């Protein structure tokens, strides 16, 4: 899961949000590789990566939601894929 914020050149419409939490799936051999790959995608959309959490391999597909299962399945098809899910927006940043 990544926490992202709108950057100055953001190409994704957050409606009225300041940022969002979003799940990503990609093939990576370690957390650093994962962060590098998804960080490039996040940046390409004009977003700013604030924080990452729950980074690790998928160990039990039975415990995934339907959305997450679909994301992992699609990411397994190509090592270059970075699949993202629903953006759960929040309206403001706390000071």
pLDDT, tens only, 24-81: 999 999 999 999 999 999 999 999 999 998 888 887 666 788 999 999 999 999 999 9
Residue written as token pair 């990544």 = 2
Whether the Cβ atoms of residue 12 and residue 45 lie closer than 8 Å to each other: yes
The span from the CA of 88 to the CA of 93, in Å, is 14
Element (H, E) at 47: strand 47-52
pTM, 2 dp: 0.82
């Amino acid at each position: 899961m990544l926490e992202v914020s709108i950057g100055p050149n953001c190409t994704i419409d957050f409606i009225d949000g300041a940022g969002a939490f979003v799940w990503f799936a990609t093939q990576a051999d370690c957390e650093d590789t994962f962060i590098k790959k998804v960080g490039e995608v996040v940046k390409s959309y004009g977003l700013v990566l604030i924080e990452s959490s729950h980074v690790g391999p998928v160990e039990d597909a039975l415990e995934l939601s339907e959305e997450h299962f679909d994301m992992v399945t699609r990411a397994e098809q190509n090592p270059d894929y970075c699949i993202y899910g629903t953006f759960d927006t929040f309206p403001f940043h706390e000071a």
